[in-house]
């Protein structure tokens, strides 16, 4: 019997796209688990693989109206789930934890072995989760992978700058950009991320891996790429301290993918515009 794949985080764009591709998988809401941990009892006497996509909602990353709820959503739930599986002797064969490139802080070329330098609470809690997964997995001899995800776009995305550009075009509204869009980011399409996760589920001894393309693009250059389609995007600029450049070192990832060709932003733009005609 194949391992049951449990994906934590029902509202996650990534969770729902993984569910479409993975057989024998189930997505469970973080809220459901918080309200009743025994919802996980259906997995007793089963062998499982576990994907954590739960975290504080992206639109509320900078809000902490309720500190206890913020911390619980960010790290408390992870420990609660791990403890439940441990005390109920549920066999975990693999854990993938979805972390973030933000853990590197102001690091131009982010390599998995680099010192972590979080610049905000969100990134600090991601690191805390990473350390928890690492210790739990090491202590219990579980195969695990920390996935440090860079700027994902596509699918049901409502958070990335790329989705915001398309929304601005659709609604003829101006879009707010930071520091004239000069910051460099590593953008990776959700379909590529899903393909990588499916491979990671069956790979051992990849403890930490960057999930990106290794190519940096400025927000300004992405906006300019719409000009060939005679689309003018109206922008409003704000100045703010931010990372000037964040690009993934993908040496480890390339070994997993065996020269994977990533979806290009220009191809994605062309496809989306053709659908919206």
**Can you give the CATH number for the domain in which 57 is found?**
3.40.50.720
Say what the pTM is. Answer: 0.92
How would residue 31 be classed by pLDDT, with cut points 50, 70 and 90? confident
Same domain, 226 and 202: no
| Helix or strand holding residue 169 (H, E) | helix 161-171
Instruction: Name the residue with higher pLDDT: 113 or 54.
Output: 113
Give yes or no: residues 94 and 162 share one domain. no
Q: Are residues 113 and 19 in the same domain?
A: yes
Give the pLDDT band of residue 140 (cuts 50, 70, 90). Answer: very high
Considering its fold, how many domains does the chain have in total? Answer: 2
Q: Based on the domain organization, do 79 and 171 belong to the same domain?
A: no
Pair (98, 205) in one structural domain = yes
User: What integer pLDDT is reported at residue 59 of this predicted model?
Assistant: 45
**Judgement on whether residues 145 and 270 belong to the same structural domain of the protein:** no
CA dihedral 112, 114, 116, 122 (to 10 degrees): -30
Q: At residue 58, does pLDDT exceed 90?
A: no
241 and 192, same domain (yes or no): no
Instruction: State the residue range of the domain holding 160.
Output: 153-185+214-256+263-275
- Give pLDDT tens digits for 67-119: 777 777 778 899 999 999 999 999 999 999 999 999 999 887 799 999 999 88
198 and 72 within one domain? yes
Please check whether residues 205 and 252 belong to one and the same domain.
no
Residue 59 shares a structural domain with residue 196: yes
203-258 residue pLDDT tens? 999 999 999 999 999 999 999 999 999 998 999 999 988 888 899 999 999 988 87
Three-state secondary-structure class, residue 164: helix
Q: Is residue 73 located within the same domain as residue 89? A: yes
Instruction: Compute CA distances 205 → 103, 116, 137, 192, 275, whole Å.
Output: 21, 21, 12, 21, 41
**CATH, residue 170:** 3.90.25.10
Same domain assignment for residues 139 and 168: no
């Amino acid at each position: 019997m194949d391992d049951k794949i449990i994906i934590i985080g029902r509202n996650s764009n990534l969770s729902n796209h993984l569910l479409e591709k993975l057989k024998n998988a189930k997505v469970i809401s973080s809220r459901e688990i918080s309200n009743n941990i025994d919802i996980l009892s259906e997995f007793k006497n089963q062998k499982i693989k576990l994907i954590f996509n739960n975290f504080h909602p992206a639109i509320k990353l900078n809000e902490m109206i309720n500190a206890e709820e913020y911390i619980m959503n960010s790290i408390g739930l992870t420990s609660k789930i791990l403890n439940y599986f441990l005390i109920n002797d549920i066999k975990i064969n693999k854990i993938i934890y979805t972390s973030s490139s933000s853990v590197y802080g102001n690091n131009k070329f982010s390599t998995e072995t680099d010192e972590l330098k979080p610049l905000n609470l969100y990134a600090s809690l991601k690191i805390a989760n990473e350390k928890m997964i690492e210790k739990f997995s090491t202590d219990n001899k579980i195969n695990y992978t920390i996935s440090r995800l860079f700027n994902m776009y596509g699918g049901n995305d409502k958070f990335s700058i790329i989705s915001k550009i398309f929304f601005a075009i659709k609604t003829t509204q101006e879009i707010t950009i930071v520091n004239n869009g000069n910051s460099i980011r590593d953008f990776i399409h959700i379909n590529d991320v899903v393909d990588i996760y499916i491979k990671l589920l069956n790979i051992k001894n990849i403890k930490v891996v960057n999930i990106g393309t290794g190519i940096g693009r400025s927000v300004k250059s992405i906006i300019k790429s719409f000009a060939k389609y005679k689309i003018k995007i109206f922008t409003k600029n704000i100045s703010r301290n931010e990372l000037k450049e964040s690009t993934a070192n993908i040496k480890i990832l390339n070994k997993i993918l065996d020269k994977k060709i990533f979806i290009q932003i220009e191809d994605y733009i062309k496809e989306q515009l053709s659908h919206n005609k």
